[in-house]
Amino acid sequence: MAHPVLTVESRDSISKKAQVNLLPCRIHHDGNVDPIDTYWKPEEDQNQTKTAYLRGRKLQSKAVKLPKGYYGTVVEKSEPKKPEESSNDQEMTEVIEIHDDSDDQIETGAMQGKATFDELMIWNHESLADSSEDPYLRGMEEWISFAEQIHSYPSKNSSEE
């Protein structure tokens, strides 16, 4: 079975900014937690390092900015938009039917952008997260490096070597 194909709406249509926190824990709760101040009160020191306590465990964090030209989007699954029908009767359209005898149907879905962000707060137990130990931070750095490599063009100097 093929993986579903997802569409995400454009960043231009999302005006809300989010502060994203990546915590090293699992919370078995799905719902509102009001008021949040009862559970989550990060304090910032002079080095822009944040410290918080969650259920007696000390967590520390520092903001990790996404590189220039990158942004993140908080998305939520939604119903796919139907293609808009043309109201112009003069427009000529050609209908092409493709019959596929295989049993594999491509599942499509839609993601609706809720907010954008340009930095992450990556939290770690007792100390600041670094890319040598934190799999999320290391993964983000590796994926950005990989994306830059596959989307770059070789320079004239590199092809002569």
| Confidence category of residue 85, pLDDT binned at 50, 70, 90 | very low
For residue 142, being part of any structural domain is answered with no
Q: Within a domain: residue 45?
A: yes
120: CATH: 2.40.128.680
Range of the domain at 51: 5-80+107-129
Q: Give the tens place of pLDDT for each residue, 109-134.
A: 788 888 899 998 888 887 777 777 77
Spatial neighbors of 80 by CB under 8 A, at least 6 apart, are: 7, 108, 109, 110
Domain assignment present for residue 151? The answer is no
pTM of this structure = 0.63
Q: State the pLDDT at residue 117.
A: 92
**Dist. CA 32–CA 36, nearest whole Å:** 9
Q: Is the pLDDT of residue 83 over 60?
A: no
CA torsion through residues 129, 132, 136, 141, sign: positive
The pLDDT of residue 51 is above 80: yes
Edge-to-edge strand ranges of the sheet holding 50-54: 20-22, 119-125, 57-65, 50-54, 43-44
Q: At 146, give phi and psi (nearest 5°).
A: -65, -45
Q: Is residue 17 part of a domain?
A: yes
Q: How confident is the model at residue 89 (pLDDT cuts 50, 70, 90)?
A: very low
User: Does the pLDDT value for residue 18 go beyond 80?
Assistant: yes
